[in-house]
Amino acid sequence: GNPTAVASFGANGEEDGYDVAVGPAGEVAIVGTFQGNVNFAGKALTSSGGSVDGYVAVLAPGGGKARWARPIGASGVGDRAQGVAFDTQGNIYACGLFRGQTNFGGQTRQPVGAWDAYVASYDKQGALRWVSTVGGSGNDFAYDVTTAPGRVLVTGYYEGSVSVATKKLPAAGGREVFVVEFDAATGAPRWGRGFAGTSGESGQGVAVDKKGEVIVVGFHGGPLDFGSGVLAPKTSTAGFVAKLSADGQTLRW
């Protein structure tokens, strides 16, 4: 339990770390938000405007200097990187939310609504491979990302009308849970599932088991429809865990 290395990243603004992952060669990826001029263990970043930007940084094994760091941001608005994961080849996948015309390190995206969710993939050297988004008429946030061979899965919440891979996700008037699978090589969406309720709900974490089936965890504030069963919280807010088939179409439990 004794620390073997400590690294601190900060400046005169606001800096947060939201997630961490360890790669196949022991490298460490971190994501979060920063403001102003920040040095990530040898890699300096400058935010786009007065608000916070997201960042993705990869440190050498053992907590050494940064191999690379990339900002995710647009001028005058807030953007966040919330979750991060590696695949077995050492590629990095970061998810979060963005507002305004945002640069992900070589490609820009414009949200459909006020906020859109995204997942961005970078190679070992930090070059952007692709960016995909989940967005509609309302606010859409991505909180966690995980990988399996050839697959990338993201969870969070959406508001209003959202379509994934030509399929419209259900909406009941509040924040709804989404789980979306993307192709790891191209970023193309393969399938999306939405779970709708009358109150605020969100996916917060996602994982894949050895059979390739998908487990999602989150919270809901009212009855939540999982397609083949409705969960009703016994208090004002309750957590949930749900398991889906590998193609996302069947609710296991």
Spatial strand order of the sheet with 238-244 comes to 201-208, 214-220, 238-244
pLDDT the model gives residue 180: 97
Rg (CA), the chain: 18
Residue 41 pLDDT greater than 80, yes or no: no
Question: 3-state class of 163 per DSSP?
Answer: strand
Helices first, then strands: H and E counts in the chain: 0, 23
> Cα–Cα distance between 160 and 178 in angstroms, integer?
12
Q: In this predicted structure, what is the pLDDT of residue 162?
A: 92
Averaged over 87-96, what is the pLDDT? 98
Contact, 223 vs 195, CB < 8 A? no
Residue 148: C-alpha distances to residues 53, 86, 94, 123, 182 (Å): 28, 10, 15, 16, 11
Q: Tell whether the model's pLDDT for residue 183 goes beyond 80.
A: yes
Arithmetic mean of pLDDT, 123-132: 96
Residue with tokens 């606010």: 139
pLDDT at 50 over 70: no
Residue 76 is predicted with a pLDDT of 63
Q: CA–CA separation, 54 vs 56, rounded Å?
A: 7
Residue 120's pLDDT is 98
Q: In what order do the strands lie in the sheet with 16-22?
A: 16-22, 28-34, 53-59, 66-72
Q: What CA–CA distance (Å, rounded) separates 4 from 61?
A: 11
Residue 229: pLDDT over 80: no
- 24-40 pLDDT, tens digit each: 999 999 999 998 888 88
Instruction: Name which residue leads in pLDDT, 143 or 39.
Output: 143
DSSP secondary structure letter of residue 5 = -
Distance in angstroms (rounded) separating the CA atoms of residues 101 and 248: 31
204 in Cβ contact with 144 (< 8 Å)? yes
Dig out the tokens for 234 from the structure.
């016994």
Residue-wise over 204-234: b if at least 16 C-beta within 10 A, else e?
bebebeeeebbbbebbbbbebbbeeeebebe
Least confident stretch, 72-76, 83-87, 194-198, 199-203:
72-76
In percent, the amount of the chain with pLDDT more than 70 equals 98
Q: Are 224 and 230 in contact (CB under 8 A)?
A: yes
Average pLDDT score, the chain:
91
